[in-house]
Amino acid sequence: MRILEIVLGSLVVLATWVSVVANLVVPRGLRSRYTRLIRDLVRVPFQAAADHCRTFESKDLILAWAAPLSILATLLSWLGLSVVGFGFVLAGVGGTNPGKGMLESGSSVFTLGFLSSSDSQQIFVDFCAAATGPVMIGLLVGYLPAMYSAYSQREAEVTMLQARAGVPAWGPEILMRHVQVPGLITQLTALYQGWERWAAQIAESHTSYPVLIHFRSPRATRNWLVALLAIMDAAALELALNPSKPKATMRMTLRAGFTCLREIADVEGIPYDVDPDPDSEIQLSYAEFSQGLDMLRYAGYPMERGPEDAWAHFRGWRVNYESLAYTLAYRIDAVAAPWSGPRRTQRQVLSVRTPVDRQPSRSRPAVSAADEDRQPTAPRGKA
């Protein structure tokens, strides 16, 4: 029985340290089912309360607490598991009951020192337990500045996009605003290049610190995923509408974008098709696409292809990232935006109201019954 307690306690301590090192030390996106479980458990009560909110601002305010608190809950769970693990080891080494062993273990892990043993073997275990608490807390203290620095860099770009894409961000509005200001459309290439680098940074930071995926923006109407989707849609629209334009920058931005989403999907455990068929159907309806083109035409955006021809090309690009973006947007409960898929509560989707300049008063296509049937109703896991 003493050997079993020592083995069990050692396995708990080892598993705890593997989780700590994988999340706080190793600089790569290692999937940890344990930390994901803690994060999901912390999120459940916040999500339940948020789903009953009448406004998205209230919902966002509640959900903003979930991800940061999951970090604290993870640290406390690591310390708790260390107390349990060392408690079993101390009980096995000293021949005492597990309750007394955990009391001594807690005294050491939290460096209280009110209970210790004179036995040399138990003293060694006490020293190991006493080192565990400060080391875990120290690693987390070093982890937080790097994580919040990545968060700050992410949000700076999302905030800067607000003037170019509106809030919530939308791909067609990026093109519309750039064509309405004389000379601004020439800056689209620089915008795409900046977001190509941004997507690469997000792929690195959000796989190294997966909790950032669920960190919300300071403003309820902004969201990193919706912003990236808007940039990718704008690039796909340009490729579909104007084939004579230089394609390299837009193609690389799209590839960086859906590569970023795929790496995040790997960490989140979301399945996807690595080589989707360009002729596959997408959840965005042709009526929604036509309404976006109608707005661009109203703003004076030049188009070399007609809507039907452009739709085939746009769909061929969007099939690479649409379902992944929709699944992630549903999972993190991002702000509802045009062309961004369904959400957990229907009233949030119905509350999407585009600004007046997104709704031209003339030549707006009607939504047919067939197109209504193609409206997205649930996220898919295939990209």
State pLDDT tens for residues 207-222. Answer: 989 999 999 999 999 9
Position of tokens 């021949």? 95
- Looking at residue 116, its pLDDT comes to 62
Considering the domain architecture, whether residues 195 and 111 belong to the same structural domain is answered as no
Asked whether residue 92 is assigned to any structural domain, the reply reads: yes
Considering the domain architecture, whether residues 130 and 232 belong to the same structural domain is answered as no
- Which of 226-240, 276-290, 349-363 bottoms out in mean pLDDT, i.e. has the lowest? 349-363
Considering the domain architecture, whether residues 368 and 313 belong to the same structural domain is answered as yes
pLDDT > 70 in the chain, percent: 86
- Which of 16-30, 196-210, 283-297, 366-380 bottoms out in mean pLDDT, i.e. has the lowest? 366-380
Question: SS3 of 113, please?
Answer: coil
pLDDT at 355 over 50: no
Question: SS3 of 39, please?
Answer: helix
Considering the domain architecture, whether residues 172 and 137 belong to the same structural domain is answered as no
Asked whether residue 229 is assigned to any structural domain, the reply reads: yes
Separation of alpha carbons 313 and 237, rounded Å = 9
- Looking at residue 334, its pLDDT comes to 93
Domain residue limits at 123:
2-141
Considering the domain architecture, whether residues 35 and 86 belong to the same structural domain is answered as yes
- How many domains are there within the chain? 2
Considering the domain architecture, whether residues 63 and 202 belong to the same structural domain is answered as no
pLDDT > 90 in the chain, percent: 59
Considering the domain architecture, whether residues 260 and 129 belong to the same structural domain is answered as no
Separation of alpha carbons 382 and 337, rounded Å = 21
Asked whether residue 300 is assigned to any structural domain, the reply reads: yes
- Residue 168: cis peptide before it, omega within 30 degrees of 0: yes
* Kind and range of the H or E run holding 340: none
Considering the domain architecture, whether residues 176 and 81 belong to the same structural domain is answered as no
- Looking at residue 190, its pLDDT comes to 95
Q: State which of 75, 107, 141 marks the end of a domain.
A: 141
- Looking at residue 76, its pLDDT comes to 92
pLDDT at 366 over 50: no
Asked whether residue 156 is assigned to any structural domain, the reply reads: no
What confidence tens digit (pLDDT) does each residue in 57-76 have? 899 999 999 999 999 999 99
Considering the domain architecture, whether residues 92 and 204 belong to the same structural domain is answered as no
Asked whether residue 148 is assigned to any structural domain, the reply reads: no
Considering the domain architecture, whether residues 87 and 13 belong to the same structural domain is answered as yes
Asked whether residue 227 is assigned to any structural domain, the reply reads: yes
Asked whether residue 267 is assigned to any structural domain, the reply reads: yes
> What angle, rounded to 10 degrees, do the helices at 2-24 and 120-165 form?
30
> Contact 154/202 with Cβ under 8 angstroms?
yes
pLDDT band at 42 (very low <50, low <70, confident <90, very high): very high
Considering the domain architecture, whether residues 35 and 99 belong to the same structural domain is answered as yes
Considering the domain architecture, whether residues 173 and 31 belong to the same structural domain is answered as no
